[in-house]
Structure 1
Amino acid sequence: MSRVYNFSAGPAALPREVLEQAQAEMLDWQGTGMSVMEMSHRGKAFVSIAEDATTRLRRLLGVPDNYSVLFLQGGAAGQFAGVPLNLMGSNPRGDYVVTGNWGKKAIKEAGKYGDPHKAASAEDTNFTTIPARDSWDVRDDAAFLHYTPNETIQGVEFHDTPDVGDVPLVADMSSNFLSRPVDIEKFGVIYAGAQKNAGPAGITMVIVRNDLMGKPQSGCPMILDYQQQADADSMLNTPSCYAWYICGLTFAWLEKQGGLDAIETINKRKAAKLYDFIDASDFYTNPVDPAVRSRMNVPFLLADDALNADFLTKAEEAGLSTLKGHRSVGGMRASIYNAMPEAGVDALVDFMADFEKTHG
């Protein structure tokens, strides 16, 4: 069976090399006579897997020693609660910049645990822009400022890290994590669900500055307590062992590509190919302000919505899978994460051009 080009927003495509290595090691991981899925998380074999993955992630991102790297469960949505529960222990004020659906969900969840404040919102533009930094209403005494560097649904991305002074910056990086270099020291907390660029669904990476741990709200569950998880090496309970293993393979694959500088160059090139084609077309449009277009998630509309179903059917027949846009936005969406090869973007552009010729 030939593999399709999978443009799913998540769970998303994984590198073929990673899948092939996992396949080869499925029944017997490095002579242990068992699958990673069967190992005790306390055993020497899995501990070595976890330590290797953690070391590789630290190396890829240049994580300083005064930050902890956690591999947790509950998805990024779990961290919508985890962030306020850990950072609002002595100060209930959390500021939020809302640039799409995930930012809306994050601030709503935070309302259960403190006093979240909408410092800025792009809802008045249907989340097709990012409010200018000088328009943000950031409280000097806020416990943190939370934002979403890339909104998966709307296709809006910050291309620079916002300066918020001494207020700890918190980022839900789920959909552009590991797609480019990041200056970790500009952040208090970074969290990301694995299922876009790092591995399969079921595990979430949290990178937290150590001085922000150890002061949670009294009602914080132990499973969400950053300090307890750091002290237990992310193993307060049985972790998502297989997902952690696949993440480690993906980190190794990224290193083989040349690291985050190299993958960013590729991602820029892939996105430019698709956006340049859309912008040159009278048949396709992208609704997002060009200055803040996402490199990871490219929404686009056809000139006639009545053609959407035919476009999707023919795309699937051509081996281009999962291009339907989110129900709240409509149209199409091509998610072109790290594992999407340039050949996949080329194939999509060629298909779109042919479809325009016959239907435009």
Structure 2
Amino acid sequence: MTQRAYNFNAGPSALPVEVLENAQQQLINFRDSGMSIMEMSHRSAIFDEVHNEAIARLKKLYAIPENYEVLFLQGGASLQFTMIPMNFLQADKQASYIMTGAWSEKAFKEAKFFGTPVQVASTKENKYRNIPALEDIQFGADDAYVHLTSNNTIYGTQWKEFPETGNVPLIADMSSDILSKPVDISKFGIIYAGAQKNLGPSGVTVVIIRKDLLEKENANVPTMLKYTTHADSNSLYNTPPTFGIYMLGEVLKWVEEKGGVEAIAKHNEAKAKVIYDAIDNSNGFYTGHATPESRSLMNITFRVADEELEKQLLAEAKAAGFVGLNGHRSVGGCRASTYNAVPLEACEALRDFMVEFQNKNQ
């Protein structure tokens, strides 16, 4: 087999090798059906089993309470930016948005089509280097909901604790850190996430929604954009992304085998520390974008002190088999995305490369 790349892509991102190998073995003849999982009906008994196994695994791994539905949708987190205000932002209320980067900006922009979103906290003036302090977040007791982005892929920041919102539903876009650490699901009205970072390949969007919110949907929402449509049909109202759901279930099985979310979290902390230590011990040769207290365990963003050296580092890294280290096109710099499936060995290899590059060029 060709040597696998050190994959630090921000998404679609690395998948566990064990999952890929298992899928490869099952690709032609899935569970002795004589068909691939991609060929069979989403109404078949075999796929129904796969579908329900994935839901059950996610509920168990994430300790999702019984009063929540798990939905498998399409359209990515970007469609959720629209569906949430379309369904839950009433004309006589406002929705509170906490601004921590480009994705919260996009969510806020979509909400304007349906009502009155309000920015109740923002770190834009600080170039999104940090997460707002909890005491600085002010929202109304009668707001439709409070929305945040739990991890910011472009700027490399992550929430360490979440605001208490009482009777106001807290909604979180967890696309880039879902299942990377334990989360108290009961704090949230809705959690949504594109699968392509920690859960599987692109094409599936997971929505975890509290059942009482389903009873509060706005009227006159198109059928396919109503959460109740999908909740009432177990996410099988129309043809779902069957292969993506199968792969999601296999990734969840892999997380179980690794010891669950708690074990994955410890592994993620160790991986991130390896790279952050290389930055912090470089005497300014490398500088992190995020403030230390807001640093993400999923997306490590940094710059090289000299811009020409930064270009050289990225070019040499690519030649050495490192993939995806360029920062987002909107901000530049460097970014190493260390999602669940990125192995510790890849992070250690990157650290060694960074140290060697510094020694050669400082």
Q: Shorter-chain TM-score: which interval?
A: over 0.9
The count of aligned residue pairs is 360
Query: What residue in structure 2 maps to residue 64 of structure 1?
Result: 65
Letter in 1 for 2:117: P
Deviation at residue 217 of structure 1 after TM alignment: 2.6
- Residue 255 (1) aligns with residue 256 (2): yes
For residues 73 and 152 of structure 2, what CA distance do their matches in structure 1 show? 22
Structure-to-structure mapping, 1:301-320, within 5 angstroms: 301-320=303-322
Aligned residue for 1:299, secondary structure, equals strand
Partner of residue 108, structure 2:
107
Q: Could you tell me which of 278, 284, 287 is aligned with 2:286?
A: 284
Contact 2:156 2:299 in 1 (8 A): yes
Q: CA deviation at 1:276?
A: 1.4
Matches within 5 A, 1:111-260: 111-260=112-261
Who is 1:337 aligned against? 339
Worse-superposed segment, 107-116 or 208-217: 208-217
Query: What do the CA deviations read for 1:294-327 (whole angstroms, capped 9, x no partner)?
Result: 0000011001111233212211222111100011
1:6-27, CA deviations, whole angstroms, 9 ceiling, x for partnerless residues? 0000000000001001111110
Asked if 1 retains the 8 angstrom alpha-carbon contact of 2:19 and 2:250, the reply is yes
Residue segments in structure 1 that go unaligned for 5+ positions in a row: none
Counterparts of 2:358 and 2:49 in 1: how far apart (Å)? 52
Contact 1:91 1:142 in 2 (8 A): no
2:357 alignment partner in structure 1: 355
Does the 8 Å contact 1:89/1:216 carry over to 2?
no
Amino acid at match of 2:343: P
Q: Secondary structure at the match of 1:343?
A: helix
Secondary structure of the residue aligned to 1:354 is helix
Match of 1:299 among 298, 301, 309: 301
Cα distance in 1 between the residues matched to 2:173 and 2:41 = 31
Residue matched to 1:271: 272
Letter matched to residue 298 of structure 1: I
- Structure 2 CA distance, aligned partners of 1:220 and 1:357? 59
Q: SS in structure 2 opposite 1:295?
A: coil
Deviations 1:26-53 (A, max 9, x none): 1010100111111100111111100000
- Give the Cα–Cα distance (whole angstroms) in 2 for the partners of residues 25 and 223 of structure 1: 32
**Helix, strand or coil: the match of 1:177?**
coil
Which whole-Å deviations, capped at 9, do the CAs of 1:229-259 have from their partners, x for residues lacking one? 1001101110111100000000000000000
Give the TM-score of the pair, scaled to structure 2: 0.97
Q: CA deviation at 1:220?
A: 2.0
- Cα shift at 1:89: 4.5
Taking the aligned partners of 1:274 and 1:342, their CA distance within structure 2 comes to: 10
Are the structure 2 counterparts of residues 213 and 89 from structure 1 closer, same or farther at C-alpha, using a change threshold of 3 Å?
farther
Task: Give how far 1:135 is off.
Answer: 1.5
Residue 224 of structure 1: how far off its partner (Å): 2.2
Query: How far apart are the structure 2 equivalents of 1:229 and 1:93?
Result: 26
Greater alpha carbon shift after TM alignment, 219-228 vs 240-249: 219-228
Q: 1:86: Cα distance to partner?
A: 1.9
RMSD of aligned C-alpha atoms? 1.1
Matches within 5 A, 1:91-106: 92-106=93-107
Task: Check whether the contact 1:90–1:215 (CA below 8 A) recurs between aligned residues.
Answer: no
Q: Could you tell me which amino acid in structure 2 is paired with residue 225 of structure 1?
A: K
1:332 Cα shift? Answer: 0.3
Determine if the alignment matches structure 1 residue 11 to structure 2 residue 12: yes
Give the deviation of 1:216 after TM superposition: 2.4
- Of residues 82-91 and 243-252 in structure 1, the stretch that sits farther from structure 2 once superposed is 82-91
Alignment-mate amino acid for residue 191 of structure 1: Y
Using the aligned pairs only, state the percent identity.
47
Q: Distance in 2 between matches of 1:221 and 1:244?
A: 24
